[in-house]
Each structure stands twice: as structure tokens, then as C-alpha cells.
Amino acid sequence: MSPSRRSPLFLVCEQAIFFFPSRGQHSSDPSPSLEHCGPQPSILFSLSRALTGQASILPCDGRAQSTQGRMGWKAAEKLFRHWKILRGDNVMIIRGKDKGETGIIKRVIRSQNRVIVEGKNLVKKHIKQGQGHEGGIFSIEAPLHVSNVQVLDPVTGKPCKTGYKYLEDGTKVRVSRGLAASGAVIPRPEILKERQKPRPSFVGPKDTPVELVLEKTYDAKAGIGMPDL
């Protein structure tokens, strides 16, 4: 052995062997010492590039597996631009633990492509006690992906796809589509005509009274309300 070449260093623990390769020896090169790992499923960690964060994992058979890039990458979910399922629709769940059950759309979360069906897809949630409410374990409705529900055909009562078409007078309406669909018009839910946050019925401190709003305070001919120049 030349003085400039150092032999690899092996550190044996109970469950793993840490391998420090010598200078000029690649971490993926098989070493004769790998066959002495024993019957236990020990793992050989190559720490030759630990300082750069590119350490590799070697099983006992000498095959290298890089740990760089192990974390999964998920692309951003593409949001739907045109929604055909609205709040208040009567739908059927076609996937999941509540498959085959029907319910009313309680909320539409367009920023997540999710909907909440009233009384369906219940999950347990721990809520801490706070001011005005008690703590405990409660059942709440978890969101469902919009592709897991379908609107019920108003004629056949079966789940169907929806689309849009124009009537003779130019009105744009929703219609049922599919093999088992009747093609009937799916009316918009009446709940959409109601405001989620009702208008206040009382006059606030920053509201202008109606009589002051309707008061005429400007007349160009009479010079009322003209600015002083």
C-alpha cells in the first residue's frame, strides 16, 4: 500500500455499517468487505459526500441508491375556470366511503376544487375549548373533490354530467348530459338568490340617511353648490 493511498474506514454498529471510502475510490464501487454484512438487513451508508449533502445509501449487495431528490414533487393543482356544480345542487357521491349517497352542496371551495356535501364525508376533529364554545371531539363535514360528485338528473333521478346550452331566447341554462341523462334543464338552486351575508337592517354610524342622500345640493343655474374660486 502506497503511503498516499489510505484504506477505507468501516464503522460497524448494531444495525448499520458506515462506510468511509478512501481517496480516489468512488462510493458506488463494490468493496470486498460488503459480503461480510451478515444475514441481518444492514444498510451501508456512504458518507463520502456528506459535507455536500449528496450522501448515497448502499445496501449489502453493493448497489448504490442516491438520497438526493427523494422528496416527492407535486405540481400545482389546476383550478377549474367554469364550474357546473353550484351551491344548493342535489348531488350523488360517486367515489369514497359515502359512495352512492345523495346530499345537498353546502359550500363550494373554488380555490381548492372542492365541495362540501351536507352531512356527508364526516370526520372527527378535536376542538379546544375557547370563549363562547366548549371543547371536545366533533364530527364535521370534510371537503370532497368536485370530480367525486355528480348532479342528479331532475327527470331520471340518476347522476349525470352537466353542460350548458342556449335556449331560443338566448338564455344560457344547464342541461344534463350522458348516456342515462334526459337532457332536461337543470335549474339554478333558489338558495343562490339569497345573500350569504344578509344586508344590515339598521342604520350604522357611518351610513348617510336617505333624506340627505336625496337632497339636492347642486344647481348650476342658481349657483347652489358651486365651489368658491
Is 213 domain-assigned?
A: no
Q: Is the pLDDT of residue 149 over 60?
A: yes
Spatial strand order of the sheet with 9-12 comes to 9-12, 16-20, 43-46, 56-59, 65-66
Q: Are 202 and 213 in contact (CB under 8 A)?
A: no
Q: What is the CATH number of the domain that holds 178?
A: 2.30.30.30
Do residues 61 and 96 both lie within one domain? no
Classify residue 178: in a domain, yes or no: yes
Q: How far apart are CA 96 and CA 141, in angstroms?
A: 14
pLDDT the model gives residue 50: 44
In the chain, the largest separation of any two C-alpha atoms, in whole Å, equals 112
Q: Do 117 and 162 fall into the same domain?
A: yes
Number of domains into which the chain is organized: 2
pLDDT digits (tens, 9 = 90+) for 155-173: 999 999 999 999 999 999 9
Q: Residue 183 is part of which domain span?
A: 90-190
| Residues 95 and 185 both lie in one domain | yes
pTM listed for this prediction: 0.56
In 144-184, beta strands by DSSP E: 144-145, 149-152, 159-166, 172-177
Pick the most confident of 11-25, 65-79, 177-191, 206-220.
177-191
H or E segment and range at residue 205: none
In-domain check, residue 123: yes
Q: What is the pLDDT of residue 37?
A: 45
Decide if 219 is inside a domain: no
The band of 35, judged by pLDDT with boundaries at 50, 70 and 90, is: very low
Tell me whether residue 28 is in a domain. yes
- Residue 209 has what pLDDT? 85
Q: pLDDT per residue over 60-98, tens digit each?
A: 454 545 555 566 777 778 898 889 999 999 999 999 999
